[in-house]
Amino acid sequence: MKSRKTLISILVAAASVAVIVGTVLFARFVQDSLWEKSVTDVLEVTAQGQHALDTYFEKDLDTLDLLAAELSVQRHDDEDRLIEKLALFGMDDDGTVYVCVDLNTGAVYRTDNTNAARLTDEQMASTAAAADRGVLEPFLDERTGGNMIGVYERFTFSDGTPGIVRKARPLGDVEERFSLSFYNDSGFSYVVNDEGEVVMRSQHRDSNRTFSSIYDIVGFEGNDQVDVDSFRAALKQNARGVALFSYRGDEYVFCYTPLEGTDGWDVVSIIPNDVVMEQANAIINATLLLCLVIIVGLGIVLTVYWRGSRAHRREIERMAFFDGLTGLFSADKFALEGDVRLAERARADRAGGGAGGGMAAACIDIDNFKLINDVDGYARGDEVLRELAAILREEAGKDGIAARLSADYFQLLVPYVRREDALDVCKRIAERARDIVGNGKPLALHIGLCCSEDAPEARDANELTDRARIAQVESRKRGETPCAYSKPMRDALLRRADLERSMEGALEHGEFFHLVQPKYDVTGTRVLGGEALVRWSRPDEGIVGPDEFIPLFEQNGFILRLDEFVFESVCRDLRARLDAGLPVVPISVNVSRLHLHRPDFLSTYVRIKDEHGIPDGLCELELTESIVIEDLHGMFDIMDSMRRAGFRCAIDDFGSGQSSLNVLKDLPADVLKLDRDFLLEGSLPGTEETVVRTVITMAKELRMDTVMEGVETPKQLAFLRTTACDMVQGFVFSRPVPPEEFYRLLDTVAPDEGAPRD
């Protein structure tokens, strides 16, 4: 019995020791796991703060790009203009100061009306040694007496003088805006440079306001010098990580991550370790108590906890990082994983172990996917998406990634050795997709591709896919798949955005104007009419070609306002001539097809004509042949209404499309303008001459005046003189000229020669 009790005691003791050891080990494991998770969360928040601050500086640099561009078209000695442009950027009353420095003379111009000082020789030398653009370290502004922080950029005045612009904000405002807080306001952050010197300090109540270097904290006794040196090296190398240091008897967690847009700055978050471990310690104590009271119950609870935790994490990750329908990556996961793949590829190339080439991003969507949902049903639409996702997953392979962003919009990131490899992947995707049937026909894709070598400025996966998206838009326009990105595509997009951004202001500031191209009789001795042609003169670049901005305004609808502006300008000029008793002739203006979709179109033109008291027959509205043949029946009513309202109606560019001569007899037009293609070199001999004569003869029989456009050579004019053509418009007689020059021509024509008067 005694031996049995001894055995039981030994077993119980052994079991107890095992339980104690197991419990201690388990508690330590839980402690470490929770500590790592908590610190990871803090590091992530620190990274978010870093990204926000990087974005803040980048936006300020973008603003300086605009300011530098504005100043670069000015002379360095045009002080009034420089101050005026600085004032435009410095209108916000938030403490921001814009500064422009003439690097030849040291002259300083500021938005706070303190422009008298010049840079000292020492300041000039320091400024000359700076990089082309970047972030300024905090400095004491001698004018305002406050500490400032900001960005700068070099530029060159129009006369070749070097200059520099700077945008600075009060340091306290920036510190307050980007002050991070953790664990119920127990933690705070600093921004330090790679030497550990504090650049921006937290406004937190526990923040040390006296020390100037982060090493004043970590250098205290009690911290291992190896850890301090490792932390110092990490800051030097712009690394991201976590360190644990003691300060005045307490342990603190240091989370650090580099600022990308600065020269060696880091965001360092500091949290008391006991605060980080507060929740973990409570869980550990409860765990120890439960382990001592009921081993089995604790085991069950822990088992359920771990299983539930893992399942919950998997579910959260699945929802956040994967598309529920196709199983592909979500947009966020694609961006994160894409950045990792790009970084790995870059590291391999730098180390010399890469295979060359780079990474290629593709943006993919389905042509008329909405019709598949509408005709075949949403269930079939989902099947189509899953089938396409399977193709993308296979083509991406183990080294690439694929994502579904929304609806039928997909993205792909794959490595390549040669650009042709990436194109081949996209071609295979497009070809394999044709095996999928939707809406009764093979699936058609629009694919835009961007290879990293074609966009070296792209810094991450999002920027690479943004350029692929530009190529995808071109794919739709051109009707070709895949369409590879090129820099001119992005330049065109930025150019379009620039024109659209400035068009409203351009109209308000008088940048748009019109010229008039005279219409002569075939002898060239009389001006019988004119056509108003809109032009755009931008202060920063001069004349913008109408073939560049008119198609754009047709797309965004601004052409409506521009057409009305030109028409009102023409009416104003005619009224002035009539009031002065001077001769006038009919002036034609172009009418966009967008006007014809507005029920109040004609009433607007009638109102403008009547407001200026223009007699009937002096205003001519031109409709292109393509507009007319789209809806002959509807155009008959519109043209008839125009004539009844006192307008002459002209069909422009006749012969440029597929219209038949037969349609002329059905249209109530006053003027027929023959397209210049009839007069292209090699077009007149033989059949074309007969066609021109026939059209002119038929128009005369229908009582329409005829105008031949684009007449440029004496040979063309000589031919037209053998026909019954009424008017000639082209460079052979005159280019488009300002209205005042056009009307000077009329002043030389006697009234009895046909120039009407009021």
pLDDT tens digits, 327-368: 999 999 999 999 999 988 888 877 765 556 789 999 999 998
Q: How many residues does the chain have?
A: 758
Is there a contact between 733 and 520 (Cβ–Cβ < 8 Å)? yes
Residue 260 to residue 145: CA distance in whole angstroms: 29
pLDDT value at residue 754: 42
**Could you tell me the two tokens for 2?**
């005694």
Between 486-500, 501-515, 565-579, the lowest mean confidence (pLDDT) is in 486-500
- Residue 569 CB-density burial (10 A; 0-12 exposed, 13-18 middle, 19+ buried): middle
Residue 234 to residue 267: CA distance in whole angstroms: 12
Residue 13 has pLDDT above 70, yes or no: no
pLDDT value at residue 727: 96
pLDDT value at residue 722: 92
Residues 147-154 have a mean pLDDT of 88
Show the beta-strand stretches assigned E in 373-459.
401-406, 409-416, 437-438, 441-442, 445-451
Between 84-88, 179-183, 634-638, the lowest mean confidence (pLDDT) is in 179-183
pLDDT value at residue 430: 93
Residue 748 has pLDDT above 90, yes or no: no
Helix (H, G, I), strand (E, B) or coil at 576: helix
pLDDT band at 614 (very low <50, low <70, confident <90, very high): very high
Mean pLDDT, the chain, integer: 84
Domain with CATH 3.30.450.20 in the chain: 72-174
Class of domain 497-749: alpha beta
Residues 108-136 have a mean pLDDT of 74
pLDDT value at residue 474: 87
72-174 architecture in CATH? 2-Layer Sandwich (3.30)
Amino acid at position 134, single letter: G
Which range has highest mean pLDDT (113-127, 257-271, 677-691)? Answer: 257-271
pLDDT value at residue 180: 61
**Could you tell me the two tokens for 595?**
């006007």
Between 337-351, 528-542, 600-614, the lowest mean confidence (pLDDT) is in 337-351
Is there a contact between 157 and 75 (Cβ–Cβ < 8 Å)? yes
Between 264-278, 424-438, 671-685, the lowest mean confidence (pLDDT) is in 671-685
Domain with CATH 3.20.20.450 in the chain: 497-749
pLDDT value at residue 755: 43
**Per CATH, is 331-485 categorized as 3.30.365.10?**
no
* Cis geometry, peptide bond prior to residue 756 (ω within 30 degrees of 0): no
Domain with CATH 3.30.70.270 in the chain: 331-485
Supply φ then ψ for residue 748, to 5 degrees: -90, -5
Between 195-209, 429-443, 462-476, 554-568, the lowest mean confidence (pLDDT) is in 195-209
- Per-residue pLDDT reduced to its tens digit, 715-724: 999 999 999 9
- Per-residue pLDDT reduced to its tens digit, 212-235: 788 877 776 667 888 888 888 888
Bigger pLDDT: 374 or 319?
Answer: 374
- Per-residue pLDDT reduced to its tens digit, 52-62: 888 888 888 89
Residue 466 has pLDDT above 70, yes or no: yes
- Residue 18 CB-density burial (10 A; 0-12 exposed, 13-18 middle, 19+ buried): exposed
Bigger pLDDT: 298 or 156?
Answer: 156
